[in-house]
């Protein structure tokens, strides 16, 4: 009887977990082992408390800083993994595909897809929406010698998202029509 009760409770917990709304956070593979082989690497993990701390350093009297501060007020996390190598495709494609697989659920929708066969580069931007509310954004940019994965978690106003370019490790896109490659700026 006790085993049956445990089985029922376990089934209820699984059904609750499966029915939970996605929060926009991806499970990024641990790419830390790539850092010693990369010519450049960026790994940023900013949860809500660290974003709040970072927002304190933005100048409230500067309109641009104030806009960024307002934008990140509700963001729950910014996660960036970016690596550059001296040789083509020195990074494991499996890790990037593991991230892409997470973006195939119904909550995630691809909103931008820019692929160049000649340059062998790709940029894909996804949003996670639940009941018409944005819960997260994911950007995957790949080139033969570089890849970047960005995951912004939380309610994001897509019209204001450009204000985060070049901050918190988020790549600067430049003109919307400009094709890849994307490169991180300091």
pLDDT in tens, the chain (186 residues): 433 333 333 333 333 344 456 789 999 998 989 999 999 999 999 998 888 888 888 888 888 888 778 777 788 999 999 999 999 999 988 999 999 999 999 999 999 999 998 999 999 999 999 888 889 999 999 999 999 999 999 987 766 666 666 666 666 654 333 433 443 333
What is the value of pTM for the model shown?
0.73
Geometric angle at alpha carbon 68, from 84 and 66, rounded to 5° = 145
SS3 track for 121-156: EEEEEEEEEECCEEEEEEEEEEECCEEEEEEEECCC
How many Å apart are CA 137 and CA 28, to the nearest integer?
14
Angle, helix 63-72 to helix 48-55, in steps of 10 degrees: 160
Q: Which two tokens stand for residue 101?
A: 């697989």
Contact status, residue 153 vs residue 50, Cβ threshold 8 Å: no
DSSP track, 41-100:
EEEEEEEHHHHHHHHTTS-TTSHHHHHHHHHHTS--EEEEEEEE-SSTT-S-HHHHHHHH
Quickly count: other Cβ atoms within 10 Å of residue 87's Cβ: 10
What does residue 131 show for φ and ψ, rounded to 5 degrees?
A: 50, 50
The Cα-based distances of 80 to 8, 46, 58, 149 in angstroms read 40, 9, 20, 6
Q: Do 105 and 22 meet the contact criterion of CB atoms below 8 Å apart?
A: yes
């Amino acid at each position: 009887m006790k085993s049956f009760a445990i089985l029922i409770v376990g089934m209820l917990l699984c059904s609750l977990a499966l029915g939970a709304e996605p929060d926009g956070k991806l499970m990024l593979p641990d790419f830390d082992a790539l850092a010693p082989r990369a010519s450049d690497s960026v790994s940023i993990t900013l949860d809500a408390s660290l974003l709040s701390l970072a927002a304190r350093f933005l100048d409230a009297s500067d309109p641009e800083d104030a806009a960024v501060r307002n934008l990140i007020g509700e963001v729950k996390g910014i996660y960036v993994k970016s690596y550059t190598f001296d040789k083509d495709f020195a990074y494991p494609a499996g890790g990037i595909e593991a991230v892409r697989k997470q973006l195939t659920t119904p909550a995630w929708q691809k909103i931008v897809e820019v692929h160049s066969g000649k340059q062998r580069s790709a940029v894909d931007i996804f949003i996670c929406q639940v009941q018409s509310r944005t819960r997260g954004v994911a950007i995957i940019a790949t080139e033969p010698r570089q890849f970047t994965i960005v995951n912004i978690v939380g309610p994001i106003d897509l019209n204001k998202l450009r204000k985060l370019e070049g901050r918190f490790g988020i790549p600067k896109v430049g003109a919307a029509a400009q094709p890849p490659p994307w490169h991180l700026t300091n």
